[in-house]
Chains A and B, each alone.
Chain A
Amino acid sequence: MGCNTCKTKPVIELINNDTKLCKKCFIRYFEKKVKKTIRNYNLIKSGDHIGVGVSGGKDSLTTLYLINEITKNNPKIKLSAILINEGIDNYREKTIKTAQEFCNKLNINLNIYSYKEEFGKKLDEVIKGKHACSVCGVLRRNLLNKYARENKVTKLATGHNMDDETQSILMNQFKNNIRVSARLGPITGIRDNPKFVRRIKPLYFVTEKEVATYAFLKGFLDKFTECPNNSDSFRNKVRDLINEFENKFPGTKHNIINSFIETLPLLKKEYSKNSHEIIECKTCGEPCSQNICRACQTIEIKFQ
């Protein structure tokens, strides 16, 4: 059976609505969905400087490519890319090269910052394996926010897709962290703060498989790379659980996202009244809710 729209050879079956699409129809479907997310949630406005956090992987390159497509003819919107080199051997060097080549091709300025220069050591020198993800995530978010702000970026776009978000939602449920869920959504944050650069997620309503399919069809990558530290973390357990459910009960990811989106305005309202006061970290000056931010606490423990 062919593509539901034009009857030619299908390249993907959309598991949530039993639709088969060919290359051309899938690309159109995918781009329309991302553009609709940007429009419905007002993710990009005239006067914005969008900084895309890139890793060189399929999600961030797709985000960068599509934002460039949407904004390249609008002189009132600026676009640049930021890459954080954590220092992960046999992985990051390859993805940096991919990101550099991709940005050169699109004529987009790429700024690279590293843990080694910032904190004195590479991630590999400090921690490896399953416990590396939490350390790495805290420091990467810290540097992305810091350098986005210093480069006068007004919105930081990330490649988070539907799979990432459903994992975060369930992880917060399993750990009774609903306050943290209030900061999720296609545009993050509860209250405006001049030191926090708002994050936008244009791939919010597309699954990881759809992003991979799009990146493959567009020829962005010849091989999908995987972080060597991507092992036995809590997130991976939740991811496996959701993927198992998605396989047995198609549409699970869409259902998690759609029900979350319905409750999100209530969560944001509740926690904007009650959120912790944002203060500046006594060590680095970055915004946080405690005297010392999590990044500085991590550096103190792991990098000293």
Chain B
Amino acid sequence: MDVHLEREDRIIQSNAKTVKELLKELNLNPTIVLVSKNDELIIEETKLNDKDIIKIFPVISGG
């Protein structure tokens, strides 16, 4: 499955079965990212499939 890391502007591959598993794999804190599946926001327990397009957005923008 393609996972777009919006902050780094790159795409990686993952076989994670849920968002929770994916964030753990990437060592990302779920309280500071948004995750979308096929352009719709999803929560940690959402199941993922091989054909899904996943995007991860950082929520922090301040300086």
Give the B-binding residues of A (Cβ under 8 A). Answer: 1, 9-13, 15, 20, 23, 57-59, 132-133, 136, 164, 207-209, 211-213, 216-217, 223-227, 229-230, 239, 243-244, 246-247
Contacts and interface: CB of A to CB of B under 8 A. Distances in A.
B41 A216 contact: yes
A229 B63 CA distance: 7
Contact of B61 (A216, A217, A226): A226
Contact of B63 (A13, A23, A136, A223): A136
Contacts of B63: 132-133, 136, 227, 229-230
Contacts of A225: 61
A158 to B, nearest CB: 11
Interface string B21-44: 000000001111010100011111
Interface of B: 6-7, 29-32, 34, 36, 40-45, 57-63
Contacts of B42: 11
Contacts of B44: 13
Contacts of B57: 212, 216, 223-224
A47 B63 CA distance: 33
Contacts of A247: 29-31
Nearest to B44: A13
Nearest to B41: A11
A168 to B, nearest CB: 11
B8 to A, nearest CB: 11
B4 to A, nearest CB: 11
Given A1-B45, A243-B29, 11 more contacts: A11-B41, A15-B31, A20-B43, A23-B41, A59-B62, A133-B63, A207-B31, A208-B59, A211-B59, A212-B59, A247-B29
A57 B34 contact: no
B36 to A, nearest CB: 8
Nearest to A136: B63
Interchain residue pairs A-B with the least CB separation, the first 5: A227-B63, A212-B59, A11-B41, A230-B63, A13-B43
A102 to B, nearest CB: 15
Nearest to B61: A57
B37 to A, nearest CB: 10
B29 A216 contact: no
Contact of A216 (B30, B34, B43, B62): B34
B34 A164 contact: no
21 contacts: A9-B40, A10-B43, A11-B43, A12-B41, A13-B44, A57-B62, A58-B61, A132-B63, A133-B63, A207-B31, A209-B31, A216-B41, A226-B7, A226-B58, A226-B60, A226-B61, A227-B61, A227-B63, A243-B32, A244-B29, A247-B30
Nearest to B6: A223
A224 B59 contact: yes
Contacts of B59: 208-209, 211-212, 224
Contacts of B45: 1
B23 to A, nearest CB: 10
Contacts of A227: 61-63
B6 A224 contact: yes
Task: Among B36, B43, B59, B60, find the residue whose CB has the most chain A CB atoms closer than 10 A.
Answer: B59
Task: Among B30, B42, B44, B63, find the residue whose CB has the most chain A CB atoms closer than 10 A.
Answer: B63
